[in-house]
Amino acid sequence: MVIGGGLLALTSGRRQAGYKGGSGSGISCQKVGPKTSQLDQVSSQQDNQASKPLTQLHKHSPHTSPTLNTHHPPTMSDSPKVLVVLTSHSKLGDTGKPTGWYLSELAHPYSVLTSHGLTLTLASPNGGASPVDPASIDASRSSNDDISETFLAEQSPLWETTAPLSSFRGRADEFAAIFYPGGHGPMFDLASDATSQALIAEFADKGKVVAAVCHGSGALIGVEGGRFLEGKRVTGFSNAEEEAVGLDGVVPFSLEDRLVEAVGRAGSYEKAKEKWEVKVVVDGKLITGQNPASAKGVAEAIVQAVWAA
DSSP letter assigned to residue 146:
H
The 10 Å CB-count burial string (b at 16+, else e) for 178-206 is: bbbbbbbbbbbbbbebebbbbbbbbbbee
φ, ψ dihedrals at 184, nearest 5°: -75, -20
Q: Specify the pLDDT at position 30.
A: 36
CA dihedral of residues 48, 52, 57, 60 (deg, nearest 10)? 180
Cut 0.85: pTM above it: no
Separation in Å, CA 303 to CA 122, 207, 292: 17, 15, 18
In angstroms, the CA 253 to CA 236 distance is: 13
In angstroms, the CA 256 to CA 242 distance is: 9
In angstroms, the CA 282 to CA 11 distance is: 12
Residues in CB range of 226: below 8 A, 6 or more apart: 262
Q: Where are the alpha helices (DSSP H) in the chain?
A: 38-50, 54-57, 103-115, 134-142, 146-154, 156-160, 185-188, 194-205, 239-244, 255-263, 295-308
CA dihedral of residues 36, 42, 47, 53 (deg, nearest 10)? 140
Q: Specify the pLDDT at position 78.
A: 78
Which residues of the chain register pLDDT less than 70? Answer: 1-77
Of 116, 292, 288, which is closest to residue 212 (Cα–Cα)? 288
Provide the residue count of the chain.
309
In angstroms, the CA 228 to CA 232 distance is: 8
Domains (ranges, CATH) in the chain? 77-308 (3.40.50.880)
Residues in CB range of 269: below 8 A, 6 or more apart: 234, 235, 236, 256, 259, 260, 263
